[in-house]
Chains A and B, each alone.
Chain A
Amino acid sequence: METGLTTNLHLLTPEFALTALAFLVFTVDLFLPERSKEWLAGLSVVSLVAVMVVALVMRPAGSVELYGGLIVVDDFGLFFKIFFLGIGVGIIALSWEYARDRLQHRGEFYGLLLFSILGMNLLAMSRELLTAYISLELLSFSLYVMVAYGLREARSNEAGIKYIIIGALSSAIMLYGLSNIYAALGTTYFVGISEELASPAAASPVLWIGVALLVVGLGFKLSAVPFHMWAPDAYEGAPLPVTAYLAIGSKAAAFALTLRLFAEAIIPAVNLWGEWQLVIAVLAAITMLLGNLVALAQRNLKRLMAYSSIGHVGYALAGVAVLGSDFALAAKGVIFYLVVYAVTNLVVFAGITAYYNREGKDDIADLAGLADRQPFTAAAIAIGLFSLAGLPIFAGFTAKFYLFAAVADGGMLWLAGVAIFTSLVSLYYYLQVMRQMYIESPAHDTHNAAAHQAHDEHDDIHQHAVHDEPPAPPMPRPSWLLAGTMGVGLLVVTWLGVYPRPLLGLIEMASKAIVPLG
């Protein structure tokens, strides 16, 4: 493993390119007049796609370590890189219209987005705790700014402050955990940790404190219960595309780190303390339960999606809990779930954004009658929510079935049972959204609504099946970009639900790269 600091440095070309492009976006932003700034979105998309291509072309055979083992270029990293870059493209498509109409300094917005993706990419590749920590901070700092991007909105500022304080706290906890691990084992390399942990002599209070704090720090980043309290406020206050990015990108990145960390550092040390699985399983169970149960009480769409995403984190964590039993199956289940969750959420958020761009409201009740006013948007949101609830023929069903089968097969049938039960709970609140869109009629103004109500009450003994409803107030179509995003997303959601095999093949390659040695 005698790799010098500069050996194979060319393999990092995608990351260098991404850094350069991010700076390019910042620089060009300085010279562009306000009205042409949308070109920066185009520039960012082109750069993301270009980086994707470069990363694919430069795929090395097997795993190659860089910087003496701090970073590894392997299929796992590559898979997540492509995944993250794709998420970036989706988020830009989501934010284009929103940024044009509602955000200032949108050039920098795209620059920050590129930096955060750089952070995620490095996170998926890092094989050492401090490198992972720094990548995570790069991601987090970009997100802190993006969450507070609605400069004039008190909600956004409040969200930004809460997010940065909690984020800093969790970073500090994590860093303290890392230092404890280093104190106990004398190494921060994943491989080194697993080697040290293999000997029973390694067990010490300092080590356990370190590992516990590390898990807590990760829990904050994942917004697993009981470290989730920042999420609903941050989600609600952030600009909508950033909310989507928080729900999709930051979760996926934190899971990429978790998977590699568990596979390469922790699982080989199962003999030291096997019960760690149970700890994760309990975390997963309360995350699913609390996320989904509290979501029942939400009236705001963004908060609903926040709690729903907490619930989904719980499902993925359940997969992490059984990584030690059948690694290949569990890892595949988790990665598959993450991809499906990301695509489905992208569709739902694209739909919500399409609505928000027209009306500027984000309560669930505001969606009333959307099916008549923007049929395609309503259908996209509905299908996305059906998929999140885990109903066929959509990806959510297949992904949940796969993941829960892995969890059950890993010896935790009870955890799969909790997951399945909470899926039922989630169906209820997703149906509430659907009810607004498809069944309720849009409230015109209070007078009309009251008259309509009275008419209902004085109807004959049996009501007519169909009321002669007044025509819905007109609403312009969603922009072509958002409609396209929803359309493509729906195709992918259906395709993954019906024939996930090609994706599973790729995931198999990715998960093979991090298979634990023990």
Chain B
Amino acid sequence: MWDNFDQVSLLLLVLVPLAGAVLAMFLPKDRPRDAWQFAIFVAAICFVLSVIVFLRYDYAAGGVQLAREYDWIGHPLNITLDLGLNGIGAPLVLLNGIVLLGAVLISQTITRRSRDFFVLLLALGSGVFGVFIVRDLFFLFFFYELAVLPMYLLIGVWGSSTDFGTFLRTKEYGAMKLMLVLVAGSVLIWIGILALYVASSESGAPTFNIDDLAQLQQAGEFSRTLELWVFPLFAVGFGILAGLWPFHTWSPDGHVAAPTGVSMLHAGVLMKLGAFGIIQVGMILTPTGAEVWMPVLIGLGTVNVIYGAISALSQNDLKYVIGYSSVSHMGYVLMGIATLHPVGLAGAVLQMFSHGIMTALMFAMVGAIYERSHIRDSLILNGLIKRMGVTTFFFAIAGLASLGLPGLSGFIAEFMVFTGAFRTYLPLAVLGVIGAAITAVYILRLLARSFFGEADPQWDHLTDASPVEKGVGAAFVIILIAVGVWPAPLLNVINTGVESALAVF
């Protein structure tokens, strides 16, 4: 039975959310609850699919599995829809399954034009799944763009603006900035893809297939010059989505302006598309370029860590703190990738998973607080534990995971990244650890200031998280702890992926 299912499981992974989005268009217009329940139904199927796909990935065998090829337009561009999962994509598929379901559940509070909201959210989910499972540059780019496309409306229509007193960061600003910067990144990626295609065409075997291109690369068909200028295109193009400094500024503004569910998906999963792209396209297809440019990338990644942490330190808005902390944490991912060291790279992938869960949890809890208090300023909020005990507990766990407390998932990931970095770029690794220390400062300060301590009477009306929010929070906390205590199931899979990714170096 499973063998038959394996034939279609990856295709279902992209088609189910897409079909869900199309079907949701025909739901009645003014019944938010129906739309929400339908979206839960679709997201739950996706979640189950992602779990099955993850479990069906046989890490002992390694390589690309569940592969399936669908002819698409054939000659002369030779584009086929090649699906296939490797050890790096598998945990990220699982991550997207989890966060998508969580984000849909949390979006119970969306009542205005909710049908349209879920249509866009599911389309986004489909795009993210797609990127993690395709083996063809055309479709990788296709799904990548599909994941970016709904963001403008998701933020612009359902988002919120932030008033800084002297100036206003409107949701329209955040949405437009995010969209334009991300598409600017895809401009670079697109040019890079075309450059590789032209190189393959000159060698007589025009193709967009990642595995075929990698073979051509191994056969020495790509010139060194080509790789040297194409890798930066991929590194920056994908890096923009991963929050690479100095192109990260869209990310806090976008995350803060977005509604809770979208922030969760965006910081939790979408940013991982960027890091995944650097590995899957940049490293595998242009390894020569990667080797030359990696010192630059690890430098930028370190700046990410420090700069993001310091920025988070100076923010008072809860969402901005998390937004900048995402920039900082994605820095570890970039550092880990840039080490080109098995432990560091595996740590980077684990960090992607772990950060995806913890940041989604933090956004969910902040969303719950904002929903009730309409305030996100940590200077005004205080003593939340009194009225919102469960919310505080979940937020605290996520925060502790984020600062790298042993026993939670963040610790193992960061530890591995640092191990890799210590063996390759010692001084930068030290700086990275300092960044982790700053993280501890702003997280603990935030907890002390807003969550613990005396409560103002003005917060007496707050109610604790709803059952749905509690459920999502609890599930995410369990995952954080489980991965922290017993990371082997994830690491086994990740290691096979890392091994084949580094085989070309």
Contacts and interface: CB of A to CB of B under 8 A. Distances in A.
Nearest to A401: B138
Interface string B185-218: 0010011001101100100001000000000000
Interface string B161-199: 111010000011001100110011001001100110110
Interface stretch (A234-242, A262-270, A385-393): A385-393
B121 to A, nearest CB: 15
B163 A459 contact: yes
Nearest to A428: B180
Interface stretch (A146-154, A197-205, A339-347, A432-440): A432-440
B160 A439 contact: no
Contact of B191 (A417, A434, A463): A417
A408 B160 contact: no
Contact of A405 (B77, B183, B259): B77
A386 B138 CA distance: 18
B159 interface: yes
Given A392-B149, A420-B191, A462 B184 contact: no
B73 A501 contact: yes
A483 interface: no
Interface of B: 18, 29, 72-74, 76-77, 112-113, 138, 141-143, 145-146, 148-149, 152-153, 156-163, 165, 171-172, 175-176, 179-180, 183-184, 187, 190-191, 194-195, 197-198, 201, 206, 259, 370, 374-377, 380
Contacts of A408: 194-195, 197-198
B146 A393 contact: yes
A155 B176 CA distance: 34
Contacts of B259: 465
Contact of A409 (B138, B153, B190, B201): B201
A424 B183 contact: yes
A462 B206 contact: no
B74 A409 contact: no
Interface string A405-438: 1001100010011001101100110010011001
Given A413-B198, A435-B172, A465-B160, A460 B374 contact: yes
A461 to B, nearest CB: 6
Contacts of B176: 428, 431, 435
A402 B206 CA distance: 13
B456 to A, nearest CB: 15
A405 B141 CA distance: 13
A464 B374 contact: yes
A438 B163 contact: no
A439 B172 contact: yes
Given A332-B76, A408-B195, A439-B172, 17 more contacts: A326-B76, A391-B145, A402-B73, A405-B194, A409-B198, A413-B195, A424-B184, A424-B187, A427-B180, A439-B157, A462-B160, A462-B163, A462-B370, A465-B160, A466-B112, A501-B72, A501-B74
B206 A427 contact: no
B375 A462 contact: yes
A405 B197 contact: yes
Nearest to B373: A462
A315 interface: no
Nearest to B25: A379
A409 B206 CA distance: 9
A371 B153 CA distance: 11
A397 interface: yes
B36 to A, nearest CB: 16
B162 A462 contact: yes
Nearest to A421: B187
A402 B208 CA distance: 12
5 closest Cβ pairs, A-B complex: A408-B194, A465-B160, A439-B156, A392-B142, A391-B149
A434 B153 contact: yes
Interface in A455-508: 459-466, 499-501, 504
A328 B76 contact: yes
A462 B179 CA distance: 23
Contacts of A397: 142, 145
Given A438-B156, A463-B163, A392 B190 contact: no
Given A420-B187, A439-B172, A465 B163 contact: no
A44 to B, nearest CB: 33
Contacts of B29: 375
A461 B379 CA distance: 12
A370 to B, nearest CB: 13
Given A424-B183, A465-B259, A501-B73, A434 B152 contact: yes
Contacts of B375: 460-462
A408 B153 CA distance: 32
Nearest to B162: A462
22 contacts: A386-B149, A392-B145, A393-B142, A397-B142, A404-B190, A405-B194, A413-B194, A423-B187, A424-B187, A427-B179, A427-B180, A427-B183, A435-B172, A435-B176, A438-B157, A439-B156, A439-B175, A460-B375, A461-B377, A462-B374, A462-B376, A465-B159
Contacts of A417: 191
Most A C-beta atoms less than 10 A away, residue of B73, B74, B171, B184: B73
Contacts of A392: 142-143, 145-146, 149
Contacts of B187: 420-421, 423-424
A138 interface: no
A514 interface: no
Which of B143, B152, B158 has the most C-beta atoms of chain A within 10 angstroms of its own C-beta?
B152
Contacts of A499: 72
Interface in A354-407: 371, 375, 382, 386, 391-393, 397, 401-402, 404-405
A435 B141 CA distance: 25
A94 interface: no
A416 B183 contact: no
